Structure formats: C-alpha cells, structure tokens
Amino acid sequence: MPDDGILLIDKPAGMTSFGVVARIRRVLSQAAGRKIKVGHTGTLDPFATGLMILVVGAECRNAQIYTKQDKTYQATIVLGQSSTTGDPEGEIATISTTPLPREMVEEVINQFRGDIMQTPPVYSAVKINGQRAYDLARKGKVVEMPSRTVTIYMLDIIDYAWPLLTIRTHVSSGTYIRSLAVDIGRALGTEAYCRELRRVRIGDKTVEDAQTLADFGIMT
C-alpha cells in the first residue's frame, strides 16, 4: 500500500465518497503507524458505484490533475418518472405510463452529443456563495443553479425496454449524469431520473484495474 501515489477504488453503492476516503485513510494510517493523508479527485453519489481515484500522501497536491480528466459512465435511466433529486434517493412520481418508441428515443439522444448547456442538480456539491448546493437545498432554501457548457463526447444506447433506458457515455469533467437523465426525459416530453450509475473510466484509468474495499479488509 503506497504512502504516496494513487489508489484506484471501485466504490460500492450506499456509501459516500467521503466515507470511502475515511475508511482507506484509517487502514493506511494503521498499517503505517502514523497518519496518512488521503483525498479524493471527484465524488460519486451514494447510490452510484465505480471508479474513484484516491490520492495518497504527497500526491494530494496533484488532485486537480485527476479531477479535470474526462470520465465514462454506464447509467440506467427510468423514463416516465421523476425524482426530486434526479436519482433513486429522492421522492419518485410517475408522470407517464405510455411507452415511447425506440426511434424517438434515438432521435432525442442524438441531440445530446457534443457541447451542451447543462444545469447541475440542486442536490449536488456545487458551491453557491461558498456553500454546498445540497446543504442549502436540505435547509429548504431556493437554490439558483448556474448553467454551464459541458461536452458529451460519446453517448450510446446499450439497451432500451420501456421505461428503462441504459446508456454509456464519455463526458467532460463537471458533467452530471443525473442532469443528463432529467434533460433526456424532458426532451422526450416526459420526466426521467437516473436509477443506476457506474463510473467505468477516468482518463486512462479503468474500473477493471480498481481494488474493492474488501481488498483492504473493509466490510461494507
């Protein structure tokens, strides 16, 4: 286990990214007999799984290098339903039960390739006047999220069987797949949310090369 460098971790569902960092830090520190500095290079939502790059020791100063790299995800989107958080942790409501033809879904998907304007979810770690958006939202405050340009380099349909749409997408840093799911739903004239999300690549690092928490003796 490194005192300096990076660790590739396959995050399990149901755990925060900060929880992963804390557990790895504890294991590394116990093994070294001293406190080891560990940081992350981009969070994953608790419901999401997949690749996290952790920086260890002196490599923490280079965290931004990894944070700014492109990312690839596989996601399952539920069409015809909405979520207050854009994911399965929010309040779910059924908007439509009428199946949409695959041709219509493919046509809409084509609109989201390339540079697009995207508004991050209210329940996100984006800072608004120095405070995390999700902290403000949980306090019941109205949060105005600024839109920004992101790039969708690749967006493919892996499977579609109403109401489930499974996609694989390669995106620029700062892209929110929850927002992409919601926007796809609205472009289809309905609502949608991201039910499953797995990050499979960051830059040239892949989840196939990652370790699990069990590899560190950590039970989840």
Residue 101: CATH number of its domain? 3.30.2350.10
pLDDT at 123: 59
Q: From the candidates 3, 4, 10, 45, give the one annotated as an active-site residue.
A: 45
Same domain, 118 and 197: yes
Identify whether the C-beta of residue 180 lies closer than 8 Å to the C-beta of residue 190.
Answer: no
Both 24 and 56 in a single domain? Answer: yes
Residues 61 and 157 in one domain: no
Our count of domains for the chain comes to 2
Residues 46-97 pLDDT 10s: 999 999 999 999 999 999 999 999 999 999 999 999 998 899 999 999 999 9
Instruction: Using 50 as the pLDDT threshold, list the residues of the chain that sit under it.
Output: none
**What does the pLDDT read at residue 159?**
98
45 catalytic residue (yes or no):
yes
Query: Do 55 and 95 belong together in one domain?
Result: no
pTM over 0.85: yes
Residue 120's pLDDT is what?
80
Rounded Cα gap, residues 2 and 147, in angstroms? 39
Together in a domain, 107 and 81: yes
The pLDDT score that the predictor gives to residue 202 is 97
Identify whether residues 50 and 75 lie together within a single domain: no
**Which residues span the domain enclosing 44?**
5-68+203-216
